[in-house]
Amino acid sequence: MGVRPWTIGCVAAVLVAAAPLSASQARPSAGGPVSSFYELETTTLDGKPADLSQYRGLVSLVVNVASFCGYTPQYKGLEALHRELRGKGFNVLGFPSNDFGEQEPGSAQEIATFCRLTYDVTFPMFQKVVTHPGAAQSPIYAFLGRSGNLPAWNFSKYLIDRQGKVAAFFPSDVTPEDPQLRGAIQRSLSAR
């Protein structure tokens, strides 16, 4: 059995350290600079407007996801984490991205179908985004990039505290089961 080219790309990209990048500030509808992830607005995977303020007061794990990556099986762990902790003030938020190896080429419907049928994903999924800095970068990732970290590959994870601040960043190879990630989630859930 041969190694698939996209697997090599996934593994190679993890070896590249993410250099701090500055991103333009996203602006909330009131016109001022965004100071909280929960001030942002976006669109759900099914095309409906989504105000992220609905998650204020919760701890969120924001993940740039893709359907055809060597890390795609992390959907299973992300869903398990979401189901385990959602009643305790936690949720996973998925943002599909085709930025790395063109590993998320599908339409919103194709992504939703893949996630539902393959991994029984129930956590909120949003429109496909651009994570790279530049004119096309999503305001979500412009805000997250102000933490000094932008994804180097698919399945990078940002832990967002109850106030909407980035509490921690985890690269793609850190799985949902990783004790460091789980410890950071528990610390954020314990903080008030």
Burial of 100 (0-12, 13-18, 19+ CB in 10 A): buried
Out of 3.40.640.10, 3.40.50.2000, 3.40.30.10, 3.90.1150.10, the CATH code matching 35-190 is: 3.40.30.10
Return the half-sphere exposure (C-beta side, CA atoms, 13 A cut-off) of residue 103: 22
Q: Is 185 helix (H, G, I), strand (E, B) or coil?
A: helix
Residue 10 a catalytic site member: no
Q: What is the 3-state secondary structure (H, E, C) of 78-110?
A: HHHHHHHHHHHCEEEEEEEECCCCCCCCCCHHH
Residues 6+ apart with CB under 8 A from 175: 74, 77, 181
**Cβ proximity of 38 and 161 under 8 Å:** no
Neighbours of 135 (CB within 10 A): 6
Q: Percent of the chain beyond pLDDT 70? A: 83
Domain boundaries of the chain, sorted by first residue: 35-190
Q: What is the pLDDT along the chain (192 residues), one digit of tens a residue?
A: 444 444 444 433 433 333 333 333 343 444 568 999 999 999 999 999 999 999 999 999 999 999 999 999 999 999 999 999 999 999 999 999 999 999 999 999 999 999 999 999 999 999 999 999 999 999 999 999 999 999 999 999 999 999 999 999 999 999 999 999 999 999 999 997
Of residues 69, 85, 144, 160, which has the active-site annotation? 69
pTM: 0.84
Q: Is 168 helix (H, G, I), strand (E, B) or coil?
A: strand
